[in-house]
Structure 1
Amino acid sequence: MTIEVNGKLLETDEDGYLTNLSDWSTDVATEMAKQDGITLTDNHWEVVNFLKEYYSEYQIAPAVRVLTKAIGKKLGAEKGNSKYLYDLFPLGPAKQACRYAGLPKPTGCV
């Protein structure tokens, strides 16, 4: 499968995750979100950028419980809860946000 961004076709797996992490750009994230009917706000970018930092440090995409806890620690309790994250990423905060961040599918996600 592929996604077209700025006239360039990028390879994705069957779930829409980039197969080559170096293909990621903010334009890729914006296009993926647009296809899901979402306009990325500063709050979305905060989570996406958090995930990119987390991945570069631990080399793993966090499952939703780990993500919620880690975001709470870094961004505060009002953002480190499932309701807030599901409001931003209704298809699943870990799955959807990791896809927008250009990361592999989180472990434990079906």
Structure 2
Amino acid sequence: MATINVAGKDVEVDEEGYLTNLADWNEEIGAFLASQDELELTDAHWEIINFLREYYDEYQIAPAVRVLTKAIGKKMGKDKGNSKYLYELFPYGPGKQACRFAGLPKPTGCI
């Protein structure tokens, strides 16, 4: 297993950069993972990341992008619950990239 070092702590990640132990996650690790993709997380990013973590806590699954878009639209409104908005925040794929920053497993159905 590969590791990343955040604030002096080694954290295990898989070959795609997803945490192997979800309990290792904190906001500092989320920000570090985003910096690897040359992204600085804003409040808008954190809103989606926190939504994903709550969704995972409730359903024990990381949603694919279509499910994510629909669930966000239901909770936050159509202006945020659409692919255009989510891809602006997470250009490498809102499901895949946002879940990695949130310390969650890769969504089912993502390649």
TM-score above 0.5, yes or no: yes
Establish whether residue 82 from structure 1 lines up as the match of residue 83 from structure 2.
yes
What residue identity is the alignment partner of 2:68? L
Question: Distance in 2 between the 1:27 and 1:61 partners?
Answer: 20
Q: Which runs of 4+ in 1 moved over 2 A?
A: none
Per the TM alignment, residue 98 of structure 1 is displaced from its structure 2 partner at its CA by 0.3
**Residue deviations 1:27-86, cap 9 Å, x none?**
000000111100000000000000000000000000000000000011110000001000
**Structure 2 equivalent of residue 13 of structure 1:** 14
CA RMSD of aligned residues (A): 0.5
Q: Which stretches in structure 1 are left out of the alignment for 5+ residues?
A: none
Q: Which stretches in structure 2 are left out of the alignment for 5+ residues?
A: none
Number of aligned residues: 110
Q: What TM-score comes out, normalization by structure 1 length? A: 0.99
Question: Distance in 1 between the 2:76 and 2:43 partners?
Answer: 13
Per the TM alignment, residue 2 of structure 1 is displaced from its structure 2 partner at its CA by 1.2
Question: Distance in 2 between the 1:103 and 1:95 partners?
Answer: 9
Question: Distance in 2 between the 1:3 and 1:93 partners?
Answer: 22
**Residue deviations 1:9-42, cap 9 Å, x none?**
1000011000000000000000001111000000
Q: What TM-score comes out, normalization by structure 2 length? A: 0.98
